[in-house]
Amino acid sequence: MKQSKLYATCKVCILKDQKALITGGAGFIGSHLVDNLMKKRWNIVVLDNLSSGSLKNIRKWFQNKQFKFVEGDLKNIVEAHKAVADAELVFHMAANPEVRVGETAPFVHFQDNLVATFNLLEAMRKSETAKTIILASTSTIYGDATVIPTPEEYGPLVPISLYGASKLGSEALACSYAHTFGIRTLIIRLANVVGPRSAHGVIIDFIRKLQINPKRLAILGDGTQTKSYLHIEDCINAILHLTAQFIDSQEKVDIYNVGAFDQIGVQRIAQIVTEQMKLQNVKFVFKGGVDGGRGWLGDVKNMHLSIRKLREAGWKPKYTSEQAIQLATKALLTEVSQRRDVDG
C-alpha cells in the first residue's frame, strides 16, 4: 500500500508540465486543487463564473506564467470550447452545490450542473487534446441508501434531491462520452467536504447563527442526522492520488467513493462549534424537520460512504469526521475574524 501511494504521489510530480483545466477553480474545492497543482508546477487554466467562487482564493497565482484565469460560464458552449482548447486534462469541479435550492428553483441544478457538464463534454469531444476528465460527484447520488457504509456498486441509485439527480445525470453523460467518444472518465463521489474557504454548509451556518444569538442555536431537522465529513486536505490528496493512478491505467471509466472512515451527528457538530467559539449554556433548538425529520427536502439523514475500494487503491484519509469538523471550524472562525478586522 505504501509503495502504491508513493508511486501515485511521484506520478503527479512527474506530470508537472501537464496542461490542466480546472472548472470552478475559484471555488472551495477547486481553489485548493489549484494551490496543490501550482506548487507541483502544473500549467493551470481556471474557468469560473464567480457565482460562488472568489478571486481572493486564487489571486496569489495571477502573476505566475503557468497560471491563467478565465471568467466564463460552462452554460455558454462557446466559452466551454475556448477553455478546453489547450487542456490535456480536465478537473470538473464547477457546480451549484446548494442542495436546498432545488426545492424552490429546480432549473438551477439542471442548468448549472447538467447542462454545464454536457457543454464541457461536447467541448472535449471536439478537442484535439482534452481526452481525460476527473468529475467531482457526490454522495447524494445514492439517495437514502439501505447499505451503510455504501459501496460504489450499490444500486439502484435513487437520488432524493435535484442536486443528487443532476450529479447522477452528469455521471451518466460522462460515462456515455467515455464509451462513445473516448473521453476517459474518473468519477469521484465525495462525502461532505469541510475546511477553509467553505462558504456554505453546516459549520458556517452554525457560526453565522451564533454570531447573531450566542445563546440559542436553531438546528434544522430532528437532530438525528448523521453523516461522514472529509477534510479538504484529505479531499485534494485523494483526488490527486486517484488521478495519478487513472492516468497510468487503461480504464475508460472508474468510480471511487472518497470520504472518512466514520460519521458524526449534527448535535456533536453543534457542540464542537460552540466549544470553538467559547460559548457556554447555548440552547440547541431542533426544528423538527420535514419528511421524517430531514433538515430540508432532499436532505439525506444517514450518509456514510464505503472507502474499501479507495483503501485498496493505496490511500486512506488522515482525519476522522470529528477531526475534520474540528479543524474546519478553527479555520472558518479565523477567516470570519479576519474579515471582521478588514471591514473595520
Q: List, for residues 101-128, the tens digit of each pLDDT value.
A: 756 778 888 999 999 999 999 999 999 9
pLDDT the model gives residue 98: 73
Res. 326: pLDDT tops 80: yes
Res. 11: pLDDT tops 60: no
308 belongs to a structural domain:
no
Mean pLDDT over 187-213 rounds to 96
Contact indicator for 187, 253 with CB cutoff of 8 Å = yes
Mean pLDDT over 162-176 rounds to 97
Q: Are residues 144 and 215 in the same domain?
A: no
Q: Are residues 70 and 169 in the same domain?
A: yes
CA distances from 321 to 47, 142, 179, 207 (A): 31, 20, 36, 18
306 belongs to a structural domain:
no
251 belongs to a structural domain:
yes
Res. 143: pLDDT tops 90: yes
Mean pLDDT over 93-108 rounds to 78
CA distances from 210 to 202, 230, 279 (A): 12, 23, 9
Q: Are residues 107 and 247 in the same domain?
A: yes
Q: What is the CATH number of the domain that holds 206?
A: 3.90.25.10
Q: Are residues 118 and 8 in the same domain?
A: yes
pLDDT band of 1, cuts 50, 70, 90: very low
Write out the residue range of the structural domain in which residue 109 sits: 2-193+231-258
Q: Are residues 127 and 214 in the same domain?
A: no
pLDDT the model gives residue 230: 98
Please give the mean pLDDT across all residues of the chain: 92
Q: Are residues 207 and 188 in the same domain?
A: no
Q: Are residues 53 and 102 in the same domain?
A: yes
Q: Are residues 214 and 108 in the same domain?
A: no
88 belongs to a structural domain:
yes
Q: Are residues 142 and 210 in the same domain?
A: no
Mean pLDDT over 44-52 rounds to 95
Residue keyed to cell 500549467: 43
- Which of 167, 173, 168 lies closest to 124 in space, CA to CA? 173
Name the domain count of the chain.
Answer: 2
pLDDT the model gives residue 225: 96
pLDDT the model gives residue 2: 37
Interhelix angle 266-276/321-343, rounded to 10 degrees, is 40
Res. 343: pLDDT tops 70: no
Q: Which three cell numbers stand for residue 140?
A: 447524494
Q: Are residues 95 and 174 in the same domain?
A: yes
Q: Are residues 250 and 269 in the same domain?
A: no
113 belongs to a structural domain:
yes
pLDDT the model gives residue 22: 98
- Per-residue pLDDT of 273-306, as tens digits, reads 999 999 999 999 998 889 999 999 999 999 999 9
Contact indicator for 7, 74 with CB cutoff of 8 Å = no
- Full-model pTM: 0.93
Q: Are residues 146 and 211 in the same domain?
A: no
pLDDT band of 86, cuts 50, 70, 90: confident
Mean pLDDT over 208-214 rounds to 97
239 vs 200, which has greater pLDDT?
239
- Which of 63, 74, 65, 66 lies closest to 37 in space, CA to CA? 66
For residue 156, whether the previous peptide bond is cis, meaning omega lies within 30 degrees of 0, is yes
145 vs 248, which has greater pLDDT?
145
pLDDT the model gives residue 146: 97
